[in-house]
Amino acid sequence: MNSLLSIKDLHVSFGLGLETVDAVRGINLEIARGEIVGIVGESGSGKSASMLSVMRLLATTATTRGTVHFAGKELFSASSKEMRGIRGGKIGMIFQDPMTSLNPSFRIGSQIAEAIIRHQHVSTKIAVSKATDLLEVVSIPRPSESMSLFPHEMSGGMKQRVMIAMAIANDPELLIADEPTTALDVTIQAQILEVLKGLRETRNLSIVIITHDLGVVAGLADSVNVMYAGEIVESGDVEGVFYKATHPYSRGLLSCVPRLDIRESALHPIGGDPPKLSEKTPGCSFQPRCKNAIDLCETTSPTLRSSTVTGLKVSCHNPMEPSPQMSESI
Amino acid sequence: MAAQVMGGPLVQVRDLVKTFAGRGTVLRKSKSQVQAVAGVSFDVLAGETLSIVGESGCGKSTTARCVTRILKPTSGSVVLFGTEISQSSQETIRPLRRQFQMVFQDPYASLNSTMTVEEIISEPLIVHGFPALEIKERVLAVVQQMHLHKSDLTRFPHQFSGGQRQRIGIARAVVMQPKFVVLDEPVSALDVSIQADIIQMLEGLQESLGLAFLMIAHDLSVVRHVSDRVAVMYLGKIVEIGTNKQIYEQSSHPYTQALLAAAPIPDPRVERARQRIILKGDVPSPANPPSGCRFRTRCFKVQDICSQVEPLLIDPGVGHQVACHFPEEINLITKRRV
Ligand SMILES: Nc1ncnc2c1ncn2[C@@H]1O[C@H](COP(=O)(O)OP(=O)(O)OP(=O)(O)O)[C@@H](O)[C@H]1O
Ligand SMILES: Nc1ncnc2c1ncn2[C@@H]1O[C@H](COP(=O)(O)OP(=O)(O)OP(=O)(O)O)[C@@H](O)[C@H]1O
Ligand code: SF4
Ligand SMILES: [Mg+2]
Ligand SMILES: [Mg+2]
């Protein structure tokens, strides 16, 4: 087994008053060293919850089930002390909300240096010099002067770069990036994506990137997982998912986005809304919106299996034919 | 969505300027002025969609708010349906308001949470003194058009999803059957599967009501799909304006080109084979814009003249215009695999 991260049958539920929200419903995920894995899916599908649970950073109202092995170590049974060493050490994380990881009242230089000292036990002088180098790595202009800025003195794109610098400060093996470019303008997004690609190249860093932007995944990821209502409904290598997907939700997702390079195409909305995660249904959770549904879909929930046709894993009783148009160039 | 050119533009904006008193920072207490919109001119024709794109803070919303007179322009002219409204009192504008409406980005914040959907949608009709029977008919018609249920009318905004709320906001805007609707990021806050829904409905409305849209957006793919013409803004100015084809396939301003090159395409082979333009640095502060060309600090074609002489758009009409000393047409969009 040479996976760096191996998630098995992960479940996450939140207690909300009398209700239970089943946010993640049994996902499996393997991430190899140096691999960039994309997780896509609509808002509320459990992308953040699944990765926060790996880091054991979920709210106390959450209950988690399953196993997570990181570099051979099971994380759910690790001690809090061990977790503190792993978080921000071997696993770096960029959060969806930048202000959760930057403290507004400290200069960014000292925040990065402190993160280095916490894990590497080096002198302040060495930590400061490492922090300055990191700002250079993430392309912050005039790194030594920028060390003394406060977060509010920086633009969104600059803050995002500082967050990346913090996340990689201790030379992690895995970077979990939750919507790292969503709040940014496209020209800044392009800069950040270059930084991430560079890190994989130079450090053989593994990256999990959570995003709702299929274009970002198309350009960056080696493999893609499509999530719907807490489950992975289709997964495989990036070209497979983009050109040969057969799950009706993946296909819906791919054909509802307008493309920069095509004008005339009509959009095909999926229609309907995602299910309430507090309500349990016996069948496939996409069934109420699915145009391909058969009787079985209403009563029995499908499981993720390898498709001999596409080489992808798909969770569907009645997958679609691979689209000849999508797979034309393969 | 073909534009019909009949009897002059519906909306004519000339040299629009909006200045805000700066917020000042901890370091610099002296309050500088922010010229959020620094001389913008464009027309909107009957039945067309003109989109304004550009990065955060470039003045898109401020332009929209000046055109709909939510804000009072500092200077310049805004002519709506033949009437100059840039400095008019709200009193004078009120009768015109039947004909233009605005839809906001945030479907959560823009609807009054204490009102039912029926009250929200019928409010503009009541304000304009429509008879009760007609109000009922119009509300029902628009609710159907937006694929909402009759039973939704008695519910409150918080009982709806984001996409449904945006449909309610749009229903409210079109119930008066206006000629012109300003949409400020109407789909940005929504999931892609819901976006497609709203875009289709907007297209349907435009066709059935002959509406003109001024749409603010930052997603260049969405803009390509819905627009007849596109204006690209940078730091308070329009740097390029033209038809959909001119902007997407014949762009000539380095900034437009950088935007197009940076917008990801959801197709791995196409996306990985594209020409990249990675700009240096960040957008400068609008309180202290660069001399000459405002884009010069990030431009990959910058020359000495760019810091000395401001490149201007020549004529504000409907042609393809580029504010650059060294315009050069490039098609950055790799043709689709086919
Ligand atoms: N602390 C919490 N308490 C209760 N429910 C929660 C909590 N955090 C998340 N949830 C619920 O769990 C589900 C999954 O949330 P999650 O944040 O993982 O979604 P996501 O896929 O990351 O969405 P987005 O794209 O909006 O970030 C949602 O229904 C959400 O409302
Ligand atoms: N009421 C205000 N007071 C002071 N400054 C303002 C005000 N409204 C906007 N600004 C400033 O004017 C500039 C343009 O803002 P505007 O909201 O028009 O940008 P935008 O292009 O719509 O950006 P976004 O894409 O983020 O919505 C920004 O620098 C902004 O900070
Ligand atoms: S005028 Fe100069 S700086 Fe401005 S966009 Fe053109 S080449 Fe670049
Ligand atoms: Mg999330
Ligand atoms: Mg805005």
pLDDT confidence band for B338 (50 / 70 / 90): very low
Report the pLDDT averaged over residues A181-191: 85
Q: What is the count of structural domains for chain A?
A: 2
List, for residues A75-105, the tens digit of each pLDDT value: 999 999 999 999 999 999 998 766 677 898 9
Q: How confident is the model at residue B5 (pLDDT cuts 50, 70, 90)?
A: very low
- The answer to whether A271 faces chain B, any CB pair under 8 Å, is yes
The interface residues of chain B toward chain A in range 17-76, judged by CB-CB distance below 8 A, are 25, 27, 55-56
Q: Using CA atoms, how far apart are residues B244 and B228, in angstroms rounded to an integer?
A: 5
Instruction: Please report residues of A whose CB lies closer than 8 A to that of B336.
Output: 259, 261-262
| Helix then strand then coil, % of chain B, to nearest 5 | 35, 20, 45
β-bridge mates for residue A223, sequence order: A37, A237
Among all residues of chain A, which has the CA nearest to that of B260? A260
Whether residue A212 is found in the same domain as residue A256: no
A233 within domain boundaries = no
Is B335's CB within 8 Å of A212's CB?
Answer: no
Q: Is the pLDDT of residue B337 over 60?
A: no
State the Rg of chain B over Cα.
Answer: 21
Verify that A179 and A306 share a domain, yes or no: no
Q: List, in order, residues 6 or more apart from B335 with CB less than 8 Å away.
A: A261
Residues of A in contact with B288 (CB under 8 A): none
Is A229 a member of any domain?
no
Rounded CA separation A320/A293 (Å)? 10
- Å between B319 CA and nearest CA of chain A: 20
Atom 27, ligand 1: which residue's CA is nearest? A43
Q: What's the whole-model pTM score?
A: 0.90
Question: What pLDDT band is residue B22 in, cutting at 50, 70 and 90?
Answer: low
Lowest mean pLDDT segment, chosen from A152-166, B22-36, B242-256: B22-36
Q: Give the tens place of pLDDT for each residue, B243-283.
A: 999 999 999 999 999 999 999 999 999 999 988 888 887 78
Give the separation between CA A70 and CA A30, rounded to whole angstroms.
Answer: 10
The per-residue pLDDT of chain B, averaged, comes to: 89
* Residue A231 in domain: no
Ligand 1 neighbourhood includes A223 CB (under 6 angstroms)? no
Task: Choose the CATH number for B9-24+31-250 among 3.40.50.2300, 3.40.50.300, 3.10.20.30, 3.40.50.720.
Answer: 3.40.50.300
Pairing, β A223-228 against β A231-237: antiparallel
- CATH code, domain with A144: 3.40.50.300
Cβ(A53) to ligand 1 under 6 A?
no
CB B130 within 8 A of CB B100: no
**Domain residue ranges of chain B, discontinuous segments joined by +:** 9-24+31-250
Is residue A266 helix, strand or coil? coil
Please indicate, yes or no, whether residues A44 and A170 belong to a single structural domain of this protein.
yes
Cβ within 8 Å, pair A215-B333: no
Q: Does the pLDDT of residue B28 top 90, yes or no? A: no
Which pLDDT value is given to residue A98?
63
**Is the minimum CB–CB distance between A273 and chain B shorter than 8 Å?**
yes
Q: Does A324 touch chain B (CB under 8 A)?
A: no
Q: What is the pLDDT of residue B281?
A: 78
Identify which of A214, A263, A270 has the shortest CB distance to residue B244. Answer: A263
A269: in domain: yes
- Can you tell me the ipTM of this complex? 0.90
Given a cut of 90, whether residue B108 has pLDDT beyond it is no
A54 in a domain, yes or no?
yes
Contacts of A181 (CB under 8 A, 6+ apart): A160, A188, A189, A192, A193, A211, A213, A216
* Contact yes or no for A263 and B271 at CB 8 A: no
User: What is residue B258's predicted lDDT score, i.e. its pLDDT?
Assistant: 95
Under an 8 A CB cutoff, do A263 and B262 touch?
Answer: no
Residue finishing a domain among A221, A255, A270: A221
The answer to whether the CB of B320 falls within 8 A of the CB of B250 is yes
The answer to whether residue B1 scores a pLDDT higher than 50 is: no
Tell me the pLDDT tens digit for each residue of B58-100.
Answer: 999 999 999 999 999 999 999 999 999 999 999 889 888 889 9
Q: For position B23, what pLDDT does the model report? A: 58
Contacts of B220 in chain A (CB under 8 A): 186, 260
Pocket of ligand 2 (CB under 6 A): B 20, 34, 36, 54, 56-62, 218, 286
One domain for residues A112 and A197: yes
Q: Is pLDDT at B4 greater than 70 in this prediction?
A: no
Both A251 and A217 in one domain: the answer is no
Instruction: Print the domain residue range for A310.
Output: 246-329
Q: What is the pLDDT of residue B105?
A: 77
- CB spacing of A258 vs B260 below 8 angstroms: no
User: How many angstroms separate the CA of residue B265 from the nearest CA in chain A?
Assistant: 5
User: Contacts of residue A157 in chain B, CB cutoff 8 Å?
Assistant: 282
* Position A165 in a domain: yes
The ligand placed nearest to the CA atom of residue A178 is 4
CB contact under 8 A, A156 and B56: yes
